[in-house]
Structure formats: structure tokens, C-alpha cells
Structure 1
Amino acid sequence: MDTVSATAVVPSVVTATGHPLQCAGAWAVAVLARRSRPEEVTAADLDRVVAVVVEDAVRAAIAEKGTAAYDWWKVLFALYPNSKATHSKRPRDAAVLREALTALFAPDAVGSSAGGWPCTFCGARAGAVWTKSTLPMFDTNMALNTLPPNVPGWPVCRGCRVAAWALPYGAWVTAGSVTVLICEAPGVEREFVARNVREARRIMQLGFGARRSGARPELSAVRAVRALRSAVPAAATLWTFKNDNQDPWLRVVRTRQSLARFLAVVDGNAEPRRGWRLLELSLTKRGRDGRVETSGPDEAARLLFESDDGRGRSLLRHLHHLLHPREDSWNERDRAALTRLAFTYAEEILGMNPHLEPVATLVADWIEHGSGEPRGRLAEYRRVALNDYHLGHLLNRAQFRLMLDGRPVAAGPEDWRPFIERRPRAWEHRMLLAARVIQLLQERDVKVSDAAGSADEETERLVEQPILEPADGDFGDEMGEM
């Protein structure tokens, strides 16, 4: 009789789930444990991660105000405002705190006789129940209890309990808020978490003062997407929240699935790459001492995210305002680069393939050859460029003016339709139209300003630098250390 041998399947001690906070914490556990994925973490790895989390929390809890270590306490307070490590009446004895915190992560009892419930996050058997004092974003002091009667808390298995407290290592943190990333490509999640684990170590050692000026989580997320270099469409979502006892809030922003493709096109083509660097430079703000106060790469990355409430800033809108003539107008090369960037974004991110040339030519012909000065007609066009009704009225007048002057008319009503109808993407069509009109005027050398755009040697040097790279770069090694 043949003997069939079977290999027992050992369940993972940590599993990344669809919950944004648990998922970020699970990846943080994996990075701290030097594992490729959360499912590879062993029980021994989990013990070592617990030791790190507890020691860091104890050090922060007993630190003096104003010290670097105390900055990590602010992070913990933003997540677990009523915990043993952050409560105003917490013990200042390290040994007492260590014992109390270690007990939070005690292994669950095993065996058929052990009780338990399904874990709130992953469904594994859980031997402990947790409440809002140890779980981030589970109620506030304004809601005393949302649990059913006689239910002491939410069941949480050991792996998810550790993940809940490894969360700040894998998140982008400030003194009062936390940002986590969820992405359809797991490699992006790991890359984002690995960067934040390194940053967490810096905060513990040097405090928030060591963070470069203007740093934002959006840049870290975009660089994680870019590092993956994957052709597979993958949207990234950032969840930013404040969880303390004052005024909790949550904000969600997300990218389109085609972000990786867009970044690859920008990276691989000289003109849109130059346009992106010009965008970054235009967004960089320096103080009187010359130091960066607002980081251009960070602010440019922020424009790639869209807010769920529709209040986020638009990359196309920003480029539209950037491209309008002004006293220090762009030279022809830079205007072409910024225009190409706008078209690349529309094509790759928004899926647009606008047919602009007939209407753009009509408007440019009218500005160049109509009655009066071109500068006045350009100013008139600028006033109506983004309004469907008034733009239609201007196109109508321009067509009649050119016909009466005996000049060819480049476009008719059917060409106007995408710009004057109230339909999806009409707004973006009008912004792209304005960019092309101004580009045509510059190519024709139509004078609308006394200023001539130029680029100095310093600007040329900066434009040639890589995109999405802060001036002072990153610190730390590839992976987090325990």
C-alpha cells in the first residue's frame, strides 16, 4: 500500500488585508523583519518586531519634552491617544511601561480548548479584544462606545495587533497626522513603507527638525510608483488622518491607474521631462536666506493626486496658468516643453486625444490678423478661454472677422463642439486649446509683450537634473533595521 505524504500548511502569522491601516502595518512588520512580504514573517520575526516597537515606545514615553525622542511620542499620540504609552497619567518607569506594553502583544493561546473569535481584520482566531485606546481610527473620545452591549472590544489576532503598532513605521508621519498608502501593485506598498521605515529612524534619532523643508507624502508615493517600473496599471491611494482627542479627521486622495505609464513617458522623452523640471522649479519657493521653504518636486507630485471631495489642485489648471503670457514670459523652447507635458498628461492620465489644431489656428489667426493690437485680442481671448459660452461667442466673431477680411477660416462649428459643450473633459479641452494657441503665436513670432523669455545658465543646469528628486535627496539604506 502506497503511503501518501502531505506537507502541513502553516498559517501566516501576519497577513496584509484590504484594510488600509492594517495593510500598512503588515508591510511595516515585513520590512522591519527583513522579509519580502508579510506572509513570510515567522513567529520569531514577530517576537523581534515586538521588542523593537515596545522599546521605541518606552523610550518615547519617558523622553523629556523638546527632545528628538519626544517627537516620536507625538507620532504615537496621533495614533493611540489613550494608550499606556501616551496617556497623560502614564508611568515614567521604563520597566513598568515595558511590561505593560509587552502584554499587549502576548501570543494567543493555542489548542482546541483555547477560546477566541475571528480577527476583525484577517479572520484568524483572535484571543484578545482591543478598543479605541490601542486601535487607530476606531472611534474618538467623542463616541464613548459604538460596540453592542456586553461586547468588550474588537477581536484582534497577535499578528494584526503587532501590525497596528508597527503602522507608524510604515506610514508618512508628522507631529499630528499619519498617511498610509494602498496600491494595486504590492511592490509600490512595500517601497513606500521601506522609505518611511528609514524616515522613522531619523525622526527617533534627530526629531522632525531633520526632515527637509517642504517634504510631503505624495512625493514618496510617486517615487514608489516610479521605482516599480511596471507596465501594469496600478492606482495608488493615500489615506491621511488625525486621530487624537481634539478634532479627528480623514482625507483621501488617489492617482489614476496610468500613473506609472505617465511617469515612464515623461522620464523617457526629453521635452516632457524638461517641462516637468520647469514645473518643479516654478513651484519651488525659497526664503530670504535662500533656503527651500516649499519643495517643487513635492508640490508637483501633489498635483498628480485627485481628492475624493473634488477640492484637490489640478495639474492641467496649474499648467494653464503657468503658460499664460506674463512679464517674464517663457521662451519658445520652454513653452513647448510645458505644453508637451500638458498634452502628455491629458493623453496618458485622462485618456484624451484632443483635436485642437483647427480651432487653435482659428484663434491664433484672429489674434494675429484681426483689427487692433494682437496684445489686446490675446487679452480678450484670455478672459473667455475657460468659459464655454463666451468662448463660443468669441469663435463666432473671429470666424466672421477673418471671412470679412478675405482670410481662410480654419475651423467650423463641428470643430468647436468639444470646447463649447458642457460635457466631461470640456474644461480640459479648453485649457489645452489655450496652451496650443499661445504656442502657435510664439512660433509665428507674434508680439504680444515687450518681454522676451530667456533661460540663464543656472536654470539650464537645474532643468537638466533628474525629476522627482529633492535637492537634499534621501537618507538611509535600502531596508529598515530592527
Structure 2
Amino acid sequence: MTDTRQTEWSVVLTPSPLQRVGAFALAAMAEVEHPEQLTPAAFTFVVERMTNDLVATRKVIKAADPGGFWLGASYMLWPNSKINPTNRGKQSHQQREDAIREWRAAPGPEDRLDAPCAYCGREAYTWFGKVDIPLGASVAHRNTTARGHQGTPLCYPCVACLWAFPYGSTLSGGRAVLIHSWDDDFLAETTGQAVDRTERAASLAMPKGVKPGPYARELAVLHAVRAYGRRITAPVELMVLSNSNKEQSLATQELGQPVAEWLRSTRRSGDAQAGYKALVATQGTKQVPGEAFLAKRAFARPSQVLDFAVGHLLTQISATVRLPSEIHLLSPLIVSYCREVLTMDDKDVERIKALAQRVAGLLSKDDRPGPFRDFIRANSKGGNLHGWFRTKSVDWLLYPRPEGATPTLLPVQDYRLLFEDDRSWSWRRLLVFAVIEALGTAGWEPKGSKEEMQEVEEAAQAAGADNEEEATR
């Protein structure tokens, strides 16, 4: 290899998530921390190792047989390639090996193109299409390229990254599932773990008939985020793709940086972990475990995490005729979630907590469940919370107030949060949570029969009806 080739056989990161995952997969297989640390010799060694993985399938009859992992994966990743031609059954073992090695061979000087690599901008060596570029166009589709082009120009390191990205993915169910982030340190760690899992899976046949649990892919991202030991500085993407001839597809979801970092932070201390377990218990349904639904909501609708936590507490109160003990475990996490994920301003959160103290002061004057029920019902999406405050503001003026309490039950700033803010519903949910916490701190317990508490349950169901509808979509 010439000095020029030594320089060109280096990996650089590009704006393509697939290329980036592949680059870090190459680094993991070479046992270096970052793709920029890959020497040309290490790069060549890893590419040869990947080629040998494909060559090892030359004696395999069916993809489901032992050693057929990469043959099975190839139909989804590299359709019509040299590893799975239509006449494969008629080829000898040596013919299969020769074809694979020809496909994955390093280009020579004669392959150099007068065109830049479509990914990194360096000088390209040859043309590529769907066989090597996931979701790319076939080289036969000349109308998708410029005149004289026979596909997409790529340099050898960039196409090698595309060959490597499956190692940094989970391959099952006819899909490649990968985690990407612009946080290079996080990407390096998660991709390295994926490479280990893929190489273990490759020692067996392609798994079949294993039905994943609900939102298993989102849950895997949640586990990866919570297992990470440093601050996450960028969003985390979940990508699910197939490059097969039967169905080309790409679906992406993004876990925002604030919620990713917040989830990671729930492992900082024993108290946070205990609070996390309590939060998970509030998120489940009969069909979906709590942590799986937490993962899905963290991706799709982060505000629902607060909604379902409050709804669960209300259900517990109506079922047991007492305030749930886990409220104090949940409180630090709920408050931090509102601040860090829902980006609620600290001073506004404190306003809602102070308002909750005043509301709890009114409700705790009566140990019957009725006043509490009326507050919950007023706080449902079909309720009249404005009317409830108008009535209770009179009680606040007439009855003795705690020393130092404001003469106004609902100041203008609090009113705007509950009724005029873009996130009014979230502020109302936080208010309900804070009221329950304040009642618990004051030692208030509803005195009523199960029948009387049935009305509280009905109010709780009304407050959470919209959430349940969203959960089933």
C-alpha cells in the first residue's frame, strides 16, 4: 500500500447517522475509542474481518442454520449482493467465497473517480448503489444520477462504514435497529455494546419466533441512556430500517437531550432510584409494563409522564381511601422532571407549590372526601376549575388563614399559568400532584366509605380519560 493509500485509508465522521454508527462500529472492532484513532492497518484488518464473517457463510445451506446469521441478515441489508445471488444454490463453496471477496475487495488506483465522495468529500474510488448503501437507489436507475454517473461515488472508508453499521445495530425481525447521537462519547459506548451483542448473536442462527415486549426498541434506548455514566449532551435517535427488496423502510424517533439526561440522572443516588421505581409504577397499564410505557412517552409525548403519574395517584386514593405513601418518593423526581424536561421555570414551579399549599389548607379543613372530589373533578379537562377557584376564593377570605399567607388564593400570575399558558394542562397536573403531597404532609386522610370514595374514583377517571385515549393510539 502506497503512502497515499495509507493516508486515504482513514475514517472521518460525516453528517450521515448510518456512516457515523458504522465508523464507531469499526473503532469498536479495532478496540480503539474513536474512529479517528483507526490506523490504516487497523482499518484494513477490520474490513478483512467483516469480509471473513461473510465468507464463513459459504457452507451454510439455510439462513436459519448455525453460522447463517449474516446470510439471513444479508437479505435485509444487502439484497442482490454476492453473498445471496439467486443462483447461490448452484454455486460451489469456493465460488461463493470468491464472489464475496470480489465484492468486498479494496479498490485500486484504476478505480479512482473524478468525483468527490458523496459523504465526506474526499476523492471517491468507485460507484455504489442500493447493494452497499442502505435505502439508496440501484445503480441501474440512471435517471437518479448525473450524466456519466453509475451510482453514488464513495470513498472506500465511507462504504466500509456502511458495511459496518449493522454490527452497531440490533438485527432481528427483518429490521436493523440502531441508536445514534451527535454526542460522540455516548455513541461510542452504545455502539461498542451493540457490536458485542451482534457478534454474540452471529455465533448462532438468526433468531426467529421471539416476540418482543411492548415498545421494546424504545425501552432498549431508555436502558442505554440510564446505563451511561456521563452527561448526555445531544438528543438520542432511534432508527429502524430495512433495505430489503420486499420493503424498504426507515422510521426514526428522537429522545430529546433534556429527557435523555433526566432519565440518566435518575441513577445518581439511592433516593433517585427509589423514586424512579415509584414513577415507573405509575406509568403502566394492563397491557403495557410501566417502564416500557415510560420509554414510549419519553420519545413521543413527554408531558404524559406527569399526566399518568397524577392519574395513578388519584386511582390509588380512590381504591384505598388514603393518600399513597409513595408521594414523597415521587416528589423530587416530578419536580425535577417539570423543570428539566418540561422546561418549567423554577419560580413558576414554586408558585404552583405555594398555591398547592393554600388549596390543601382549604381542603384539609374537611375530612370528608367530597371537597377533595370536587377539586379533582374541577381539574379534569371537562371541569370548571375557574369556577372552583372563584368559589373557594371567597372561603379563603372568610375563614382563618395560616399565618403569613397571602390574602389572595389565586394571584394573577398563578391564574395565567393555569388558564392562559401554552402548557396550562401540565401546570394543572402539577398543581394536583402538589396538593396531594401537601395534604399528605399535613397528615390529612379522607374519612369516608368505599362507596363515598367511588365518586372520587369517578372524578379521577374523568381527569385521566384523555390520557387513556392517547395511550391506546
Same fold (TM over 0.5): yes
TM-aligned CA distance change 1:54 to 1:430, over 3 Å = same
Residue equivalent to 1:455: none
2:237 aligned counterpart, secondary structure: strand
Contact 1:180 1:239 (8 Å CA) reproduced = yes
Q: Distance in 2 between matches of 1:106 and 1:273?
A: 50
Residue equivalent to 2:327: 335
Q: Deviations over 1:386-437 (max 9, x none)?
A: 5398322322233234445566766224143244334333332222112111
Residue equivalent to 1:96: 95
Report whether the alignment pairs 1:360 with 2:356: yes
1:252 aligned counterpart, secondary structure: strand
Which consecutive residues of structure 2, in runs of 5 or more, have no partner in the other structure? 451-473
Contact 1:14 1:38 (8 Å CA) reproduced = yes
Q: Deviations over 1:370-390 (max 9, x none)?
A: 6xx743443443344253983
Q: Distance in 2 between matches of 1:296 and 1:397?
A: 38
Structure 1, 216-225 or 113-122: larger mean CA deviation: 216-225
1:253 aligned counterpart, secondary structure: strand
Shift of 1:449: 6.9
Residue equivalent to 2:456: none
Q: Distance in 2 between matches of 1:165 and 1:330?
A: 59
Shift of 1:58: 4.5
TM-aligned CA distance change 1:285 to 1:12, over 3 Å = farther
Q: Distance in 2 between matches of 1:449 and 1:325?
A: 16
2:144 aligned counterpart, secondary structure: coil
Counterpart amino acid of residue 344 in structure 1? S
Shift of 1:187: 1.2
Report whether the alignment pairs 1:22 with 2:19: yes
TM-aligned CA distance change 1:246 to 1:428, over 3 Å = farther
Shift of 1:205: 2.6
Residue equivalent to 2:43: 46
What are the equivalent positions in structure 2 for 1:9-408 lying under 5 Å apart? 10-11=7-8, 13-59=10-56, 62-64=60-62, 66-67=64-65, 69-70=67-68, 72-86=70-84, 89-91=87-89, 93-110=92-109, 114-139=112-137, 146-206=144-204, 207-208=206-207, 214=213, 216-226=216-226, 229-231=229-231, 233-259=233-259, 261-263=261-263, 265-280=265-280, 297=291, 299-305=293-299, 307=300, 314-326=304-316, 327=319, 332-352=324-344, 353=346, 354=349, 355-369=351-365, 374-385=368-379, 387=381, 390-403=384-397
Q: Deviations over 1:224-273 (max 9, x none)?
A: 54555334733322222333334443332223334565356432344332
Contact 2:262 2:337 (8 Å CA) reproduced = yes
Contact 1:16 1:22 (8 Å CA) reproduced = yes
Q: Deviations over 1:55-88 (max 9, x none)?
A: 3335558442544544544433333334333455
The number of aligned residues is 430
- Larger helix share, 1 or 2: 2
Q: Distance in 2 between matches of 1:225 and 1:85?
A: 35
Shift of 1:336: 1.5
Structure 1, 82-91 or 31-40: larger mean CA deviation: 82-91
Q: Distance in 2 between matches of 1:271 and 1:103?
A: 58
Percent identity at matched positions?
23
2:298 aligned counterpart, secondary structure: coil
TM-aligned CA distance change 1:362 to 1:243, over 3 Å = farther
Q: Distance in 2 between matches of 1:361 and 1:146?
A: 65
Q: Deviations over 1:311-332 (max 9, x none)?
A: 6784323323333233268865
Q: Distance in 1 between matches of 2:337 and 2:283?
A: 18
Structure 1, 342-351 or 46-55: larger mean CA deviation: 46-55
Counterpart amino acid of residue 52 in structure 2? E
Greater RCO (Cα-Cα under 8 Å, separation 6 or more): 1
Shift of 1:200: 0.7
TM-aligned CA distance change 1:330 to 1:166, over 3 Å = farther
Shift of 1:36: 1.8
TM-aligned CA distance change 1:386 to 1:42, over 3 Å = farther
Which consecutive residues of structure 1, in runs of 5 or more, have no partner in the other structure? 1-7, 287-292, 452-482
Structure 1, 12-21 or 247-256: larger mean CA deviation: 247-256
RMSD over aligned Cα atoms: 3.8
2:267 aligned counterpart, secondary structure: helix
Per the normalisation by structure 1, the TM-score is 0.75
